[in-house]
């Protein structure tokens, strides 16, 4: 019990540091195995300083691996890809090709800018997957918090990937949302309308307005201890997907908080909740991937 308590206190401190953008993300990445893979940092996919991404490739000689594009959170106002190298390395160690892009933030852009940047990153991943051992026909989107929203909208609303010559119903196999903010009950707050536009247009910026039977399979994960994003977001979006006949799985973990929903992807913190186990198991099942295969 004493050891477990110390581990939990260390985990909480690590993720508290990660919130304001300190070095906890890099510390967590140092504990991640790479599975013999390599990282390529700062690859351009767009314009400007936030138009770059990091690539975490599987071991040399690997081919046709699932390609997971991960979008980090931060309320659309902060965050940078270097803080989430631990996610890229965790996915890499399982045998995936992981891509972690930056994207422009508020107030430089609003929601259409976030999604436009995300779509460009996904197009880059498709175009360059084979160069890094990935299969461009096995693209999975994944995101935490605001990044979960980006993943959801790119998967649900065809206009965003359509703008870069892709169709999520054909070019994306699945998506995974970690504590994503998909939709709220009642009118949007002033902060939300500042990001997403006037109240009368707000519903159209929610993924539930766009899901259809042909949308990619979804895994929605949240923690019941989340005090930042209402975990009921998972239930509402899952129900919307089920109503149209789509494929969705939902997981809610007791006591898991907002930041630890992504923190539990890190090897030292997986005792906290089975986020990593459930996420890779879902992706493996949907794609038919067997870890360890060449």
List, in order of start, the domains of the chain with CATH numbers: 28-287 (3.40.50.1820)
CA 277/CA 203 separation, integer angstroms: 33
In tens, the pLDDT along 88-119 reads 999 999 999 999 999 999 999 999 999 999 99
* Band of pLDDT at residue 273, cut at 50, 70 and 90: very high
> H helices then E strands: how many in the chain?
12, 8
In tens, the pLDDT along 70-90 reads 999 999 999 999 999 999 999
CA 92/CA 70 separation, integer angstroms: 12
pLDDT of residue 21: 41
36 DSSP assignment: T
CA 131/CA 10 separation, integer angstroms: 38
Out of 9-18, 82-91, 229-238, 260-269, which region has the weakest mean confidence (pLDDT)?
9-18
CA 108, 112, 116: angle at the middle one, nearest 5? 95
Residue 45 CA: distances (Å) to CA of 106, 161, 174:
19, 15, 22
Cβ neighbours for 291, distance < 8 A, ≥ 6 positions apart: 94, 95, 280, 284
Candidates 143, 144, 106, 96; CA nearest to 121 is 143
């Amino acid at each position: 019990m004493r050891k477990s308590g110390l581990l939990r206190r260390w985990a909480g401190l690590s993720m508290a540091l990660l919130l304001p953008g300190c070095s906890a993300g890099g510390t967590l990445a140092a504990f991640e195995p790479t599975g013999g893979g390599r990282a390529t940092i700062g690859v351009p996919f767009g314009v400007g300083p936030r138009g770059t991404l990091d690539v975490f490739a599987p071991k040399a000689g690997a081919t046709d691996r699932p390609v997971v594009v991960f979008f980090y959170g931060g309320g659309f106002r902060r965050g940078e890809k270097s803080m989430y190298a631990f996610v890229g390395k965790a996915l890499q160690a399982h045998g995936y090709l992981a891509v972690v892009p930056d994207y422009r933030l508020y107030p430089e852009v609003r929601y259409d800018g976030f999604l436009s940047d995300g779509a460009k990153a996904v197009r880059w991943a498709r175009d360059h997957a084979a160069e890094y051992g990935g299969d461009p026909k096995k693209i999975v989107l994944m995101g935490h918090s605001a990044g979960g929203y980006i993943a959801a909208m790119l998967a649900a609303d065809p206009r965003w990937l359509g703008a870069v010559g892709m169709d999520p119903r054909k070019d994306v196999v699945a998506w995974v949302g970690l504590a994503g903010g998909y939709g709220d009950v009642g009118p949007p707050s002033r902060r939300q309308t500042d990001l997403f536009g006037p109240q009368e247009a707000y519903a159209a910026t929610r993924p539930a307005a766009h899901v259809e039977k042909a949308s990619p399979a979804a895994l929605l994960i949240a923690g019941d201890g989340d005090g930042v994003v209402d975990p009921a977001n998972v239930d509402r979006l899952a129900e919307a997907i089920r109503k149209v006949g789509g494929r969705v799985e939902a997981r809610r973990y007791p006591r898991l908080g907002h930041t630890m929903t992504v923190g539990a992807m890190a090897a030292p913190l997986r005792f906290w909740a089975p986020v990593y186990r459930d996420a890779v198991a879902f992706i493996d099942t949907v794609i038919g991937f067997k870890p360890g295969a060449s």
